[in-house]
Amino acid sequence: MSEEAVFERKFPFHKVTFLNKNEETLSEREVIEQVKKGNKEAYQLIVVRYMKRAYYIALGFVHNSEDALDISQESFIRAFRKIKGFNTQRPFFPWFYKLMKNLCFDHIKRGFRIHEIPLERIQVSKEERNDRELKETLWRGIESLSLEQREVIILRYFQQMSYQEIAEITEKPIGTVMSTLYYAKKKLRGIVGKLLGSE
């Protein structure tokens, strides 16, 4: 089963039935204002908008579909509990990302690893199947990076964010982002090379 199928089967908000035309056209700010006023159902709009992005970022950090689902769902719950303190003049996702990143980091630091993603559940073409050992090695290499280095690798290569977007979401200078990414890639090349026996 693909990660997409696992996600859609287990994420409780992957289909929303209450939307009407007025709700579909609300801006993010208007939706959050409604949530702040006590409209809990409106929060589903926020969840639906960001749930896949949240799941795949969490998956990049923890490399485990069950844990990624748990973390992304818990992140939305925590964000809902803190929503009254959210400044609606700012975009929601960077604020939400901080909550989720902290949960991911806590999870990694506690060493919770139930099981890794089975390689047969990763959608790959016939040609890519020959590269499974490399994929597995690459994941082990990513997991060997510091949390800060892993973060920039995930945001840059898993989420295709620009340096500017990474700087904004992590609240770090763009130079720091570029430097962290440079050393993360350098370290990753060394780790993967050693694991593959090429160094």
Q: pLDDT, tens digit, for every residue of 43-88?
A: 999 999 999 999 999 999 988 889 999 999 999 999 999 999 999 9
196 φ/ψ angles, rounded to the nearest 5 degrees: -90, -5
- What's the one-letter identity of residue 85? G
Residue 183 is predicted with a pLDDT of: 94
Tell me the pLDDT band of 97, cut-offs 50, 70 and 90: very high
What domains, with CATH codes, occur in the chain?
1-123 (1.10.1740.10), 125-199 (1.10.10.10)
Q: Are 169 and 156 in contact (CB under 8 A)?
A: no
Q: For residue 151, which of 167, 138, 137 has the smallest C-alpha distance?
A: 167
Task: State the pTM of this model.
Answer: 0.74
Q: pLDDT, tens digit, for every residue of 98-156?
A: 999 999 999 988 875 544 444 344 444 445 555 677 777 888 888 889 999 999 999 99
Q: What crossing angle do the helices spanning 65-82 and 43-62 adopt, rounded to 10°?
A: 140
Mean pLDDT of 156-162: 91
CA 119-96-168 angle, 5° bins: 95
